[in-house]
């Protein structure tokens, strides 16, 4: 049997509906850990950060479904203590890979500044934030304690700038054979998830202590759970910018 893994967040659940009944237990880990498990061949297929496939081109994207935003995503947020043009230090969510890369891409190519970046624990309590800005993703972002200005929604920032969807996580396999073998079960799970979004929202709201209507809007209005030509174009644009971003791709700081 193939070994499957996934991020543990609410936004992944629509892609996992009934999957364990078909393929066996899933291994759950934060995005940065999942990428390592794929690289070390401890997993065969994982719903993982898309930048893992940038770092390791041998990984194959399974076009079964993905976690995508066509605008505001509500769970990938940059909290600011000062205006964006004055930000000099950014704390990046330690559990993030794709979203942390998106922050760096936006600062480099959209906002035109070069703050320092450091990793920060995924602590939703931002009342004592030391950096000028902080990134939170997933469930901690939904539960953040914050009394400052409204955070920057990175899904919205990307879409406003490029007009393209942003793919936060996708199914990645260690090779094409594993991708082909896993695709049918992953497609069926996504179909079940899209058909049961209200039930998934109700369960997620109870577990996270959030309002059910808000979680339902989050899953229905702010996320898209498929992967098609538009998503492919958005991912290609992100990879192009990633390659040109110092500290991420191939470009040095003075290029």
pLDDT in tens, 35-63: 889 989 999 999 998 999 998 889 999 99
Does a structural domain hold residue 185?
Answer: yes
pLDDT at 77: 94
pLDDT of residue 251: 45
Chain-centre distance of CA 29, in angstroms?
A: 13
Segments forming the whole domain that contains residue 188 = 4-68+166-243
The CATH number of the domain holding residue 42 is 3.40.190.10
pLDDT of 36 reads 87
187 and 222 within one domain: yes
Pair 81, 149 in one domain: yes
Whether residues 185 and 158 fall in one domain: no
Alpha-carbon separation of residue 220 from 10, 75, 159, 194 (angstroms) = 13, 13, 18, 9
Q: Indicate whether 181 and 236 sit together in one domain.
A: yes
| Total domains, the chain | 2
Q: How far apart are CA 154 and CA 135, in angstroms?
A: 9
What pLDDT, on a 0 to 100 scale, did the predictor assign at position 252?
A: 42
> Per-residue pLDDT tens for 222-255?
999 999 999 999 999 999 999 999 888 754 433 2
Residue 99 lies in a domain: yes
């Amino acid at each position: 049997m193939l070994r499957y893994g996934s991020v543990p967040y609410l936004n992944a659940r629509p892609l996992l509906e009934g999957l364990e009944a078909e393929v066996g237990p899933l291994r759950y880990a934060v995005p940065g850990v999942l990428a390592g498990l794929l690289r070390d061949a401890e997993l065969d297929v994982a719903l993982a950060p898309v930048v893992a496939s940038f770092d390791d081109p041998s990984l194959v994207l399974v076009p079964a479904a993905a976690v995508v935003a066509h605008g505001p995503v509500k769970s990938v947020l940059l909290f600011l203590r000062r205006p964006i043009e004055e930000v000099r230090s950014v704390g990046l969510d330690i559990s993030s890979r794709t979203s942390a890369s998106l922050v760096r891409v936006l600062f480099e190519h959209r906002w035109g500044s070069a703050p320092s970046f450091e990793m920060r624990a995924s602590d939703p309590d931002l009342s004592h934030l030391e950096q000028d800005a902080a990134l939170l993703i997933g469930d901690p972002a939904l539960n953040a304690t914050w009394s400052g200005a409204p955070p920057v929604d990175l899904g919205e920032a990307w879409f406003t700038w490029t007009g393209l969807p942003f793919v936060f996580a996708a199914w990645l396999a260690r090779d094409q054979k594993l991708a082909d073998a896993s695709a049918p079960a992953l497609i069926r799970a996504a179909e079940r998830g899209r058909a049961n979004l209200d039930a998934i929202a109700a369960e997620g709201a109870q577990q996270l202590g959030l309002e059910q209507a808000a979680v339902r809007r989050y899953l229905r209005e702010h996320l898209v759970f498929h992967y098609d030509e538009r998503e492919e174009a958005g991912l290609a644009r992100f990879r192009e910018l990633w390659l040109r971003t110092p500290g991420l791709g191939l470009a040095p700081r003075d290029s």
